[in-house]
């Protein structure tokens, strides 16, 4: 593990660039983050597949130690409207 640090804004920018058609909100810091995303990218995917899709874009930061805990709320627009 290194002393690499990432803040919520940088993580949010990363996810917005990776999922340009999604609404993205990231909160937290100190390596612990809460990610909320809404978009069609999650249509037809179960919860595990949705998380795997997002983790693909976070893996480098997880390996570096900058991110070590992430909770995710990943919804389609239809699910968000009824939530």
Specify the pLDDT at position 62: 94
Q: For 8-78, which CATH superfamily applies?
A: BolA-like (3.30.300.90)
Segment 25-76, tens digit of pLDDT: 999 999 999 999 999 999 999 999 999 999 999 999 999 999 999 999 999 9
pTM recorded for the entire structure: 0.91
What is the arithmetic mean of pLDDT over 8-22? 97
Specify the pLDDT at position 83: 73
Question: What six digits make up the tokens of 28?
Answer: 């937290």
Beta partners for residue 16, in sequence order: none
Q: What is the DSSP letter of 60?
A: H
Specify the pLDDT at position 73: 98
Distances (CA, A) of 36 to 4, 9, 24, 62, 71: 23, 13, 6, 18, 9
């Amino acid at each position: 593990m290194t002393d690499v640090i990432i803040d919520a804004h940088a993580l949010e920018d990363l996810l917005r660039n990776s999922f340009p058609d999604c609404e993205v909100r990231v909160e937290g810091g100190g390596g612990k983050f809460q990610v909320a995303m809404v978009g069609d990218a999650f249509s037809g995917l179960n919860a595990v597949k949705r998380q795997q899709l997002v983790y693909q874009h976070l893996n480098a930061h997880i390996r570096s130690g900058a991110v070590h805990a992430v909770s995710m709320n990943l919804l389609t627009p239809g699910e968000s409207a009824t939530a």
